[in-house]
A = this chain, B = another copy of it.
Amino acid sequence: VTTRVLVNGAADDAVAVNDRGFQYGDGLFETVAVRDGMPLLWSRHLARLHRGAERLGLALPDAAVLTREAHALCHGLARAVLKLVISRGPGARGYRLPASPQPTRVLSVVDGPVTLDATDTATVRLCATRLSLQPALAGVKHLNRLEQVLARAEWGDDYSEGLMSDTAGNIIEGTASNVFLVADGVLCTPDVSQCGVAGVVRELVLERAPALGIRCLVQPITLDLLYRADEMFLTNSLIGVRPVTRLEQRTYAIGQITEDIRQTLKQIDAIV
* A residues in contact (CB < 8 Å) with B: 5, 7, 12-26, 29, 31, 56-57, 81, 83, 85, 87-88, 93-97, 106, 108, 110, 129-130, 132-134, 136-137, 142-153, 167, 175-176
Contacts and interface: CB of A to CB of B under 8 A. Distances in A.
B85 A149 contact: no
Q: What is the copy number of this chain in the assembly?
A: 2
A209 B62 CA distance: 55
Contacts of A18: 13, 108
A93 B29 CA distance: 13
Top 3 closest A-B pairs, CB basis? A25-B25, A132-B132, A144-B144
B144 A136 contact: no
Contact of A14 (B17, B85, B167): B17
Contact of A147 (B21, B106, B136): B136
B56 A146 contact: yes
Contact of A134 (B12, B31, B132): B132
A30 to B, nearest CB: 13
Contacts of A133: 132-133, 167
A133 B108 CA distance: 34
Contacts of A150: 56-57, 136-137
B14 A149 contact: no
Nearest to A19: B22
Contacts of A110: 93
A159 to B, nearest CB: 12
B26 A15 contact: no
Nearest to A145: B24
Nearest to A7: B17
28 contacts: A12-B17, A14-B16, A14-B17, A15-B22, A17-B106, A22-B87, A23-B143, A24-B143, A25-B143, A25-B144, A25-B145, A26-B146, A31-B93, A56-B146, A56-B150, A88-B149, A95-B149, A95-B176, A132-B132, A133-B133, A133-B167, A134-B147, A134-B167, A136-B147, A137-B146, A137-B150, A144-B144, A144-B145
